[in-house]
Amino acid sequence: MEVVLKNLTKIFPSRNRKNGDEVVAVNDMNITIPDGKLVGLLGPSGCGKSTTLYMISGLQKVTGGQIFFGDDDVTHLTPENRGVGLVFQNYALYPHLTVKQNIMFPLENLKGADRLSKEEMLKRTVEAARLVQIDDLLARKPSELSGGQQQRVAIARALVKMPKVLLLDEPLSNLDARLRLQTREEIRRIQRETGITTVFVTHDQEEAMSISDEIVIMKLGIVQQIGRPQEVYDNPANLFVAKFLGTPPINVFAGRVEKGMIYIGSEAFLEAPVPDQEVYVGLRPEGFTLDENGPFSCKLKGIEVMGRDVSVVGAHPDLVSNSLRIIIPSDMGVSEGCERVRFSVRRNKCFIFRKDNEERIPLE
């Protein structure tokens, strides 16, 4: 089921009548979620991800715009009539019910023509449990399950009604790191097996990048960029997107373009066929190669061993991001004894951004 959001807007009235500031939680959002794909909705806390999801589900009314499921305008349908499955960060299982009863619960509430026989409900429940691999835990209570297992029950409960659209709001944030990774792969597998169009909300860029067919990056209610994860990483539309994707994050410097060359301080290191101007220069941590004749140098503050690679922590007077980090293979031989290190920089790992609106300036 293709999902289309058209000029979708949500404005919350101010809580405090006197100062009158309303919150534009989602601002004129236009996206298409392709049939059968998993789209990651990504952005910092407060950027409007949950609000978007709740509007798709029908739990929250829209202020403006439209929501389409296929050809149907569902903007004003109730949640029950949209055929969506929803999973929240807090699993909200019923503690006094067994796993089986929890999963079956939405089916027991079906009314009229949708009502299922007891056998059919049980069959669907077992199928959903099997899909998330908890079919051996059906008799347990939620308190007898691990966090990861509880979240699987919540997913099974969302799947049991065979939703047309699956909506997941930070479903992994309560899990520890290892379980998070495992459950993330599970969600991906389930999504592929069922082919249900899925929106996965997270503030974790790595999670979104690894699980999504496409990511949508938001800031203050406004969509910044939409695309395949690698595409967006390699071609960020603006400084915000460049900074939001990647660990360690991109290194950002105050620089300039002069006579067709990009400068950081007095060092010119890359050609740029653009007019002279002040710019932000972004250099991805993996874009450096040790090179004593290279055009980029920095002071060495320390080296962090990460196994296969090392992370060189540097200092540079023109740095405007929090820290300068360069990732190089551990056998490249930077020793803590060096005071300054010199690098060449790969062209496709270097971006420049306008100083005024922080849009990226293409280098081609």
In the complex with ligand ADP, the residue whose CB is nearer, 215 or 303, is 215
In the complex with Mg ion, the residue whose CB is nearer, 81 or 173, is 173
Give least dist CB 224 to ligand ADP, A: 13
Which residue of the chain is nearest Mg ion when measured via CB?
50
Query: Which DSSP state fits 36?
Result: T
In the complex with ligand ADP, the residue whose CB is nearer, 43 or 171, is 43
Cα separation, 124 vs 159, in Å, equals 9
Give least dist CB 49 to ligand ADP, A: 3
User: Binds 243, which of ligand ADP, Mg ion, none (CB < 5 to 8 A, cut-off by type)?
Assistant: none
In the complex with ligand ADP, the residue whose CB is nearer, 25 or 328, is 25
Give least dist CB 49 to Mg ion, A: 5
Give least dist CB 301 to ligand ADP, A: 34
In the complex with ligand ADP, the residue whose CB is nearer, 23 or 97, is 23
In the complex with ligand ADP, the residue whose CB is nearer, 23 or 363, is 23
Report the candidate in 284, 342, 331 with the shortest Cα–Cα distance to residue 309: 331
Number of residues that bind Mg ion (CB under 5 A): 1
Give least dist CB 55 to ligand ADP, A: 9
C-alpha of 194 from chain center:
22
CB 131 within 8 A of CB 123: no
Report the candidate in 180, 156, 202, 191 with the shortest Cα–Cα distance to residue 41: 202
Helix (H, G, I), strand (E, B) or coil at 323: coil
Positions that interact with ligand ADP (CB under 6 A): 12, 23, 25, 43, 45-51
In the complex with ligand ADP, the residue whose CB is nearer, 31 or 300, is 31
Give least dist CB 220 to ligand ADP, A: 8
Binding mask 46-65 for Mg ion (x = CB under 5 A): ----x---------------
User: Binds 48, which of Mg ion, ligand ADP, none (CB < 5 to 8 A, cut-off by type)?
Assistant: ligand ADP
Helix (H, G, I), strand (E, B) or coil at 90: coil
Rounded to 5°, angle at Cα 211 from 147 and 28: 105
Query: For the range 136-143, what are the long-range contacts, defined as Cβ-Cβ under 8 Å and sequence gap of 24 or more?
Result: 137/99, 138/98, 138/99, 138/100, 138/103, 139/98, 139/99, 139/100, 140/98, 140/99, 141/95, 141/96, 141/97, 141/98, 141/99, 142/91, 142/93, 142/94, 142/95, 142/97, 142/99, 142/102, 143/95
Give least dist CB 63 to ligand ADP, A: 12
With a CB cutoff of 8 Å and minimum separation 6, the contacts of 109 are none
In the complex with ligand ADP, the residue whose CB is nearer, 25 or 272, is 25
Give least dist CB 48 to ligand ADP, A: 4
User: Binds 249, which of ligand ADP, Mg ion, none (CB < 5 to 8 A, cut-off by type)?
Assistant: none
In the complex with ligand ADP, the residue whose CB is nearer, 11 or 126, is 11
CB 263 within 8 A of CB 277: no
Cα separation, 74 vs 224, in Å, equals 25
Report the candidate in 279, 306, 300, 281 with the shortest Cα–Cα distance to residue 343: 300
CB 239 within 8 A of CB 254: no
Query: For the range 135-140, what are the long-range contacts, defined as Cβ-Cβ under 8 Å and sequence gap of 24 or more?
Result: 137/99, 138/98, 138/99, 138/100, 138/103, 139/98, 139/99, 139/100, 140/98, 140/99
User: Binds 25, which of Mg ion, ligand ADP, none (CB < 5 to 8 A, cut-off by type)?
Assistant: ligand ADP
Give least dist CB 277 to ligand ADP, A: 33
Binding residues vs Mg ion (CB under 5 A): 50
